Amino acid sequence: MALLTLTVNGEPRSADVKPGTTLLEFLHDYLAMTGTKCGCEEGTCGACTVHLEGRAIRSCMVTAESCAGKPVTTIEGLAAGNRLHAVQQAFLSFEAFQCGFCTPGMIMEAAALLNDRKPLTDGRVRLYMEGHVCRCGAYNDIVKAVMSAAAELRKDAGNE
């Protein structure tokens, strides 16, 4: 075991971890940040998606140690204080989930996609989100939510 400290949602968070611990295990098991979900643990479902230096990654596919010195953002850190991120708000407004298991990963992936504020099409959203599995089949509402969040963010940017 070795003490590892990562910057998670802007705060230093430490745990004694065994060698080879994945970022998913560090967050979910050691820090009890259960918003990041454990699905396949082989990079194919997207449930464990978080941001590493602002980019969406599958946290089951990287070691926690390799993330030292790089900011990690999880679903718990996406809102700005009491204000939900536009993607979180849109998922709520469109009820873009049923059981909610895939939702944190979907939201983190979409939030990273929308960072560039480029115009989107339904097709581009579907392509980008293709690697995320929703066992409940909420895909149509998820695409609607992402498109709506993109429009909100563009509106906000226009008002800045």
Whole-Å CA distances, 137 to 3, 10, 64, 86 = 40, 34, 31, 22
CB 54, min distance to ligand FES, A: 19
Residue 97 binds ligand FES, judged by CB under 6 A: yes
What are the structure tokens assigned to 56, written together? Answer: 């969406």
Residue 104 binds ligand FES, judged by CB under 6 A: no
CB 137, min distance to ligand FES, A: 8
Q: Round to whole Å and give the CA distance between 152 and 41.
A: 33
Residue 139 binds ligand FES, judged by CB under 6 A: no
Residue 95 binds ligand FES, judged by CB under 6 A: no
The residue (of 94 and 97) whose beta carbon lies closer to ligand FES is: 97
Closest CA to 120 of 94, 95, 146: 146
Q: Round to whole Å and give the CA distance between 122 and 72.
A: 28
Residue 46 binds ligand FES, judged by CB under 6 A: yes
The residue (of 77 and 105) whose beta carbon lies closer to ligand FES is: 105
Q: Round to whole Å and give the CA distance between 136 and 52.
A: 27
Residue 40 binds ligand FES, judged by CB under 6 A: yes
Taking CB under 6 A as the binding criterion, the range among 32-40, 79-87, 121-129, 147-155 that sits at the site for ligand FES is 32-40
What are the structure tokens assigned to 37, written together? Answer: 């979900």
Going by the DSSP 8-state scheme, the letter that residue 85 receives in this structure is P
Q: Give contact residues for ligand FES (rule: CB under 6 A).
A: 38-41, 43-48, 58, 60, 97-103, 134-136, 138
